[in-house]
Amino acid sequence: MNILYRNRTLERLLIAVNAMVTVVVIATALAQFGFYEHILSDALVYAILISATLLFIAEKIIRFFNARSKKDFLKAFWFEFGFIAVFLSLWYSSGLLLAISIYLLLQIIAKVCRTVVNLAASGKSPAITFIGSFVILILIGTVFLMLPKCRTAQPISLVDAMFTATSATCVTGLIVKDTGTDFSTAGQTVILCLIQLGGLGIVIFGAVFALFFGQALNVRQAAAMQDLLSTQTVSKIANIIGFIFITTITIEAVGAVSLYHMWDANSPLPAHISNQWFCTIFHSISAFCNAGFSLFSSSFIKYSSDWRIYSVVCPLIILGGLGFGVLHNLTTVFAGKTRYFFHKAFWPNKPYLSTNARIHLQTKIVLTVTVILITAGLVGMLIIQNNTGSGHIGFANALFQSVTARTAGFNTININALSVPAKMILMMLMFVGASPGSTGGGIKTVTLVVIIMAVYSTIRKRAEVEIFKRCIPLVIVGKALTVVLLFIIVLFTATFLLTITERHNDFETSSIMFEAGSALGTVGLSCGITPSLTTAGKIIIIITMLIGRLGPLTLLAVLTFNIKPARYNYPTESIVVG
């Protein structure tokens, strides 16, 4: 809801004060809790927090009197009364310091959520906000990971901290520092937050909390969310955003509960893991977000014989890679079928007004290609790896690597021990990646199908691309071709640059290309060369991971945002190709 204010200059001044106070509060919290020895005195910290609380309260009072409609203002900011109630109850029960801390935390969350949603609907390309949110999140994560309390004994360089923050935010999983031993529990928590925020997108989280605070999205905000979510209807944006949030939390919670006893059944947790629930939640979120981060130095190699790796982790990876649009469609269809079943069971004579949703073309393509890719990867790994004299691989391990290579990044075997043809199979799976609207990367499954069917239609001399008895618009075919071409260009450019920066290291070209493909596909599998990369090599991988997570098409949309389509066509003339 947009609130109109009488004095716009005063409103802009309040926005600037809000931003300044928020920065000061965050900086104070970092100085107080990020170091083993407090940088600021307790008296100064109390003074800053109390002043910030008073300023936030005064800001709301001033805005109330400055608003043209007091009713609209109260309707938009009703949750502020809840914040005040929480503040007063905590002050009475637990003391002033805790009450102020929680109140300021709620205020900052609310303000950040409103800001990211408003920026997405600012009239500029939502892709700019999407990219900006990732860049800002990476920079914030870098600052946090460099704090002494976020790491163990060893210091971390700026490039290594940025590499880790980028890998977590882009849900890649490539690491230059061991997540379990080189970072403290606080650092691991920061990484986990970056994975969750990066996996779903901070703009989506902002919209979730904005809706939670009772702020309905206006038309411009809903249109921005529609662009970011790649949905076809604006009217149900709030429902889809709520579905994404609830589905994510539910699936990750079920995964965490299912994995909890896996550690006890195999071997005791390493000494650096102090809390079993934290370990379980970390790996459940990492799996669903297709991040591939693990608190174990060897990933899941020592748990390769446990059935939960294949019955819990694999489904988490697959569900995270299907895309929220597909999950929403499947849930809607299932709910419709369930309603119909109970209606016929309890009210057989009463007419049933069918509102059942159909399975969308996108869902059919994603499910079909997912099954084909997992099966092809499994069979290919079994045949190639077991017949090249480079070691035997079992059915279960081949299945897991076929699933995880499509952007998850966990491993139950030593990737460097695989034969070069087996690595090529993994690279092809990494290149395709997950599905549109998911937490994974790659060119996406639907893009692959569109390209294949375009070739098939050309062979059959069909004028249109047809999939499941539906015609695909030519503009979609053009986008698919653009995505594949840009991915190929980025992949070979990154590989070429790495061969230059890593020329003094004894790395095989296949390992370098595997590393570049893993970064671009946001997979996280590695032949073990990541920690040994030069500073220039790490920067190349950072840029490649960011491009892979955002998608070359998003970057291209930003670069061509101001280009207006031509309103004329030139005469048509045939040329010879092939």
Q: From the centroid of its chain, how far is CA 522?
A: 10
Residues 78, 79, 83, 88: what is their CA dihedral angle, to the nearest 10 degrees?
Answer: 50
Q: Which residues pair with 471 in a beta bridge?
A: 466
d(CA 464, CA 25): 58
* 426-478 residue pLDDT tens: 999 999 988 887 878 888 899 999 999 999 888 888 888 888 888 888 888 88
Give the Å distances, CA to CA, from 283 to 69, 140, 195, 341: 48, 23, 11, 37
**pTM, two decimal places:** 0.86
Which domain does 20 fall in, by range?
8-225+234-298
**Is 576 inside a domain boundary?**
no
d(CA 105, CA 100): 8
d(CA 408, CA 568): 45
Residue 124 binned pLDDT confidence (cut-offs 50, 70, 90): low
Q: From the centroid of its chain, how far is CA 467?
A: 29
**Is 517 inside a domain boundary?**
no
Closest to 100 in 3D by CA, of 60, 57, 50, 44: 50
**Is 33 inside a domain boundary?**
yes
Q: What is the pLDDT of residue 257?
A: 92
d(CA 326, CA 437): 9
d(CA 563, CA 474): 20
> Between residues 189 and 560, which one has the greater pLDDT?
189
**Is 304 inside a domain boundary?**
no
Q: What is the helix (H) or strand (E) element at residue 163, kind and residue range?
A: helix 158-169
Lowest mean pLDDT among 338-342, 380-384, 508-512: 338-342
* Sequence-ordered list of residues with C-beta below 8 angstroms from that of 26, at least 6 positions apart, any chain: 108
Residues 417, 322, 480, 239: what is their CA dihedral angle, to the nearest 10 degrees?
Answer: -150
**Is 322 inside a domain boundary?**
no
Residues 437, 439, 442, 448: what is their CA dihedral angle, to the nearest 10 degrees?
Answer: -40
Q: Which tokens hold the place of 144? A: 């946090």
Q: What is the pLDDT of residue 79?
A: 75
Hey, CA dihedral for 53, 54, 57, 62, is it positive or negative?
negative
Q: What is the CA radius of gyration of the chain?
A: 26
Q: Does the structure show a pLDDT above 60 at 214? A: no
**Is 221 inside a domain boundary?**
yes
Q: What is the helix (H) or strand (E) element at residue 24, kind and residue range?
A: helix 8-33
d(CA 522, CA 518): 6
Residue 207 binned pLDDT confidence (cut-offs 50, 70, 90): low
Residue 217 binned pLDDT confidence (cut-offs 50, 70, 90): low
Q: What is the pLDDT of residue 553?
A: 66
d(CA 369, CA 443): 13
**Neighbour-count burial of 564, counting CB atoms closer than 10 A to its CB (0-12 exposed, 13-18 middle, 19+ buried):** exposed
* Mean local confidence (pLDDT), 26-45: 83
Q: What is the pLDDT of residue 360?
A: 87
Q: Which tokens hold the place of 18? A: 């809000």
* 67-91 residue pLDDT tens: 888 887 787 777 777 888 888 888 8
Task: Give the chain's domain count.
Answer: 1
**Is 339 inside a domain boundary?**
no
Q: What is the pLDDT of residue 211?
A: 60
Q: What is the pLDDT of residue 543?
A: 93
**Is 92 inside a domain boundary?**
yes
